[in-house]
């Protein structure tokens, strides 16, 4: 299934709007004014989550016509729109779209190239196959949503494109950060304000089904987890692994102790 942006629905790509540079005052408002875009179930004001420095870094990376997507909606949506990105936003809250629309109308920021997809990202993103230059993952922060968001769009991010992940200190988000930081296909470019990580895609993962999982550094043997086993069983596994290691070193002639006549 292909999910199309507003620019692609009629087979044409809309010309990007003239980018607007957000003033420092506007960046401050977008990042810190509680309730500007986000409200709780009782209508109480919630803070946006993105910080000033992080929002500026994200904004600076976007250029007109870039094909971008974010999960979650708010100040970042305004930044993508202001920079003239051909942008898709995924949020379950129609009220957030309404607030962003009101805000952009007041500030003279065009939303012509922005497509609001109202729904949960785990449903909306299924089948996404349109190439992307940049993605921001800042939607549901509960496990396993950050991974789900990444999973559905990672293949569509072009080599050289960016994946931004906000709130990396939160455990459900940190697991994604940890995974990306370890894999050869992703390069950590920067962490802004101790919370927003920027990764560059440097390669597509090798196609190696069904043993693709073995190629992920995340699943390296040295990282296998045995902590759920009784201590005796764990000790046995460590002994077995040590013996296999010794045999392999001998077979490959890499056992220096033996070659130099040392005792084992
Ligand atoms: C931390 S806020 C996003 C902040 C936004 N980037 C900004 O700059 O204001 C989290 C966002 O995730 C959205 N969200 C929550 N559950 C979601 C889901 N299942 N799918 C997509 N978005 C979701 C919320 O509605 C909210 O917009």
What DSSP assignment string belongs to 148-172?
Answer: HHHHHHHTTEEEEEEEEE--TTSHH
Give the sheet arrangement for strand 86-91, strand by strand: 114-118, 86-91, 67-71, 132-137, 157-165, 196-201, 186-192
Whether ligand 1 lies within 6 angstroms of the CB of 59 is answered as no
Q: Which atom of ligand 1 is the closest one to the Cα of 139?
A: 12
User: Distance, CA 90 to ligand 1 centroid (Å)?
Assistant: 8
Q: Is 164 exposed, middle or buried (0-12, 13-18, 19+ CB in 10 A)?
A: buried
Contact 130, 4 (CB under 8 A): yes
In this structure, are 193 and 255 located in the same domain? no
User: Distance, CA 214 to ligand 1 centroid (Å)?
Assistant: 33
Work out how many domains the chain is built from and give that number: 2
In this structure, are 54 and 149 located in the same domain? yes
Whether ligand 1 lies within 6 angstroms of the CB of 146 is answered as no
Whole domain around residue 240: which residue ranges? 225-259
CA separation, residue 238 to residues 33, 87, 195, 224, 230 (Å) = 54, 50, 37, 11, 13
Whether ligand 1 lies within 6 angstroms of the CB of 76 is answered as yes
In this structure, are 185 and 252 located in the same domain? no
In this structure, are 142 and 249 located in the same domain? no
Q: What is the pLDDT of residues 81-111, one digit of tens each?
A: 999 999 999 999 999 999 999 999 999 999 9
User: Which is higher by pLDDT, 203 or 263?
Assistant: 203
Q: What is the pLDDT of residues 129-184, one digit of tens each?
A: 999 999 999 999 999 999 999 999 999 999 999 999 999 999 999 999 999 999 99
Confirm whether 205 is domain-assigned. yes
In this structure, are 138 and 240 located in the same domain? no
In this structure, are 88 and 136 located in the same domain? yes
pTM equals 0.88
Whether ligand 1 lies within 6 angstroms of the CB of 96 is answered as yes
- Domain CATH number, residue 131: 3.40.50.150
């Amino acid at each position: 299934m292909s999910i199309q942006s507003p620019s692609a629905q009629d087979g044409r790509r809309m010309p990007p709007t003239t980018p607007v540079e957000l003033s420092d005052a506007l960046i401050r408002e977008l990042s810190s004014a509680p309730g500007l875009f986000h409200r709780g179930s009782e209508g109480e004001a919630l803070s946006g989550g993105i910080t000033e420095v992080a929002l500026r870094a994200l904004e600076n990376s976007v250029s007109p016509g870039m094909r971008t997507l974010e999960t979650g909606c708010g100040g970042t949506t305004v930044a993508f729109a202001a920079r003239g990105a051909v942008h898709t936003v995924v949020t379950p809250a129609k009220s957030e779209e309404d607030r962003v629309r009101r805000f952009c109308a007041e500030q003279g920021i065009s939303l012509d190239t922005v497509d609001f997809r109202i729904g949960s990202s785990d449903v909306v993103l299924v089948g996404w196959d349109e190439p992307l230059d940049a993605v921001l993952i800042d939607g549901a922060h509960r496990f396993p949503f950050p991974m789900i968001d990444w999973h559905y769009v990672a293949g569509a991010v072009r080599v050289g494109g960016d994946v931004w992940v906000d709130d990396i200190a939160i455990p459900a988000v940190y697991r994604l950060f940890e995974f990306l930081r370890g894999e050869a296909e992703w390069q950590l470019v920067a962490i802004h304000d101790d919370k927003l990580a920027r990764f560059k895609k440097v390669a597509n993962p090798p196609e190696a089904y069904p043993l693709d999982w073995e190629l992920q550094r995340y699943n390296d043997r040295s990282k296998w987890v045995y902590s759920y086993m009784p201590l005796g069983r764990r000790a046995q596994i460590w002994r077995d692994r040590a013996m296999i290691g010794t045999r392999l070193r001998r077979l490959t002639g890499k056992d220096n102790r033996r070659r130099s006549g040392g005792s084992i």
